[in-house]
Amino acid sequence: MAAMKRPLYVSGAGAVTPAGLNAPQTMAAIRAGLSAFEEIMLAEPLGQTQIAAPIPTRAKLRRTEGRWLVNMASRAIREALWTGSGASEGTAILLTPPESLRKHPAYDDIAPQDFLATVIKATGLRFHAASRAIDGGAAASIGLLERALEVMEQQGVEQVLLGGVDSLVNDADLARLGQAGRLKAENNAQGLVPGEAAAFVRLTRLPEGKSPILVAIHGVGLAQEQDNVLSERYSQGDALLEALRNAVNGSGPSEPDIDFVISNSNGERYSGWEELIVRPRFYRTRREILPTAYPAMTIGDIGAAGGALALMLAADSLLNDYAPGPTAVCELASENGLRAAAVMTRMTRR
C-alpha cells in the first residue's frame, strides 16, 4: 500500500475520551498537555490500585462491557456525522472494534459479527450498506483509508466515518496486561496506562465549505511486524519502517517534508525501543528536533480507537495553526503487530 490515487479530506470528527466528551474538548485537553489519569481499584487482586484513564460516567451506562462500547461509538458517530450536512443513508461507517485476539469481554455480550449492526442500531440512524467492521486495531483503521476512497468512488458513498472504539479499562484486559508486566506502576515506569475511547473522522473526496484551509491525506502504508509485543523478541522496527516508506512513496510529500509526528506509542519499553530503532532509519534528513505528539500521555492507551484519534489530532493541529509545520505523519501500531502510517498536509484552497 502506498500513496493514494487522490487525496482524502478530513472534514469533521467526533470523539468520546477520558479527556473530553466530544472532539473539541479532547483536542483542547491534549493540546494543553492535561492528564486524565487516576487510580482505580482492581477486582483482582482485591484492594490493589492501578493508574488508568477511564471516562467519567454513570454506572448504568457501564452495565455490560458491550453496551458501554456501543454507547461510546454511537455518540462519537453522531457527533462526526453532524459536523456536515450529508445524510446518514449516503454515509458508510468503517469501524475497528477491539482486536479479536484479546477476547474482549464486550464480545460476551455482543458477538463480533453483530457489533457494527448493534452500534448502528444505537445511533437510531440508517447507514450505507458498504459499512464494515474490520479486525486489527488502530493500525487497521489507518489501513482502511484506501477502502474509504474505494467505496466513495465505486459504491455511491457520499462520505465515510472512519474510526474505532475500545476500552482497556476492564477486568480481563487489566488482568492480562498485569500478568505480562505491561502496566505502568511504581515498579514499572515503562508501562502503559489503560484508557478507553471512541473516535471517528469524517472523510470526503472533495473539500467542503468555504474555508481557505484544508487537511488532506495523501499516502498510506501498512505492514505486519512478526516480532510483536506478544512475542518473546523486541521489534527491530522493520514493519513500521516499511509502512512509513510506503506512505511517502508517491507524488505527495516525501520524508524531507515531514514536520511532525502523531504516534500512538503508549510508553511501554517495547514501544519505545521500536521507535528508537525506526527513527534514524527513516528520518534521514537532518532536523534539530522532530516534534512528536503522544495522545496516550493524556488519555492512555485507547487500543483500536487510536488510529482515528491520531488523524483527528493531526487535522486539528493543521487546521487551527498550532502544528509545527504543514506536513504530518501518523504512526500507528496494533497489539497484533500491524503497523501503519499516513501522511497528511495543510493545504490552502486556490
Domains in the chain: boundaries: 1-350
CATH topology of domain 1-350: Peroxisomal Thiolase; Chain A, domain 1 (3.40.47)
pLDDT tens-place string over residues 213-254: 899 999 999 999 998 888 888 889 999 999 999 999 987 899
**pLDDT single digits (tens) 11-60:** 999 999 999 999 999 999 999 999 999 999 887 777 789 999 999 988 77
- Structure confidence at residue 135 (pLDDT): 96
- Residues 260-264 have a mean pLDDT of 98
Confidence of residue 1 (pLDDT cuts 50, 70, 90): low
Read off the pLDDT of residues 298-326 as tens digits, 9 standing for 90 and up. 999 999 999 999 999 999 999 999 999 99
- Let me know if 149 is exposed, middle or buried by CB neighbors in 10 A (0-12, 13-18, 19+): buried
CA–CA gap between residue 205 and residue 195 (Å, rounded): 32
Per-residue pLDDT tens digits for 138-164: 999 999 999 999 999 999 999 999 999
**Interval 49-82: pLDDT, tens:** 999 999 998 877 788 999 999 999 999 999 999 9
Question: Can you tell me whether residue 159 is helix, strand or coil?
Answer: strand
State the pTM of this model: 0.96
User: Within the chain, where are the H helices?
Assistant: 23-31, 65-81, 106-109, 115-123, 137-143, 145-154, 171-179, 238-247, 269-282, 296-299, 306-319
Is the pLDDT reported for residue 258 higher than 70? yes
